[in-house]
Structure 1
């Protein structure tokens, strides 16, 4: 594709998406400032219509958010004490290998997220994280119901990799922004919970 056509396409996406994405640039985390660059990266994906990339990066954002929140909670949102490098490594080693479900449960147990948020995040784990992280179109599209009979050629064709790729593309287009919006605002809910919890100490 020619450079000018690519530039025109990107400009069209930018003009179309700017108003809905601009608010995400205006609000930045403070306690969880490590996430700023990642949110900016996702914002750029949304601006240019890279929806599958948005979901993949939002999965990464969610796992980072929860693990960093647990670390900040353990630190009582205070700076890491000396020996700095050694203690930082211990803290990172403690949580880095945790599975997402364990991390979600721990955040709820420590009152960093609510029970309702826990339920929603476990749903997201099935709906977004597992399918995209494991490149499983069947997991992503598992809730899709064909209007045709199981042995109908139209239903069988939907199982082909070509048609599933198109379905995943459309799924991403419909869900990327709402998923990111939820995780983005969760950042600030967790920051408030951390502040409320540790400002009383």
Structure 2
């Protein structure tokens, strides 16, 4: 299984390490910022690093030749249709909500703001619409009373993302396909950035 990883920051690094433990070939790492810690971790591991020409969009030329699957980990860039078509199985990402609830950049913050007693994470197929692709894996967790978005992310949602991404990777390796269940649009909500 040949993977192009698109991401950033701590979650990108932990995803890189998790993928290496799952015995896949990470053929390229794509970042928006050459100084990002994911770029440094990939270079240290001898993995090719490419910096996106447009920080908001990943294009086909930035995906490594022969990629089976694109995995995103804390990337705010859209993966273009041409880029998805360049990978045999397209792409998957992790979203820290029970999609279709809280689609958008501030999912964890909206989970807290809305007072949701239950949160969760979703590995989903990357699609033209943000956070709207079919669900590959999903799991829930409780939200502690008084917990902040950061505390919820660090305690439960980030580790859940690593677990779910690993399960989907293992499934893809075993079955040469990805699980896919369409999202139910009637339950979709948006989680746009909150003002500071």
TM-score w.r.t. the length of structure 2 is 0.28
Structure with higher Rg: it is 1
Would you tell me which structure has more helix in proportion to its own residues? 1
* Higher normalized contact order (CA 8 Å, seq sep 6+, divided by chain length): 1
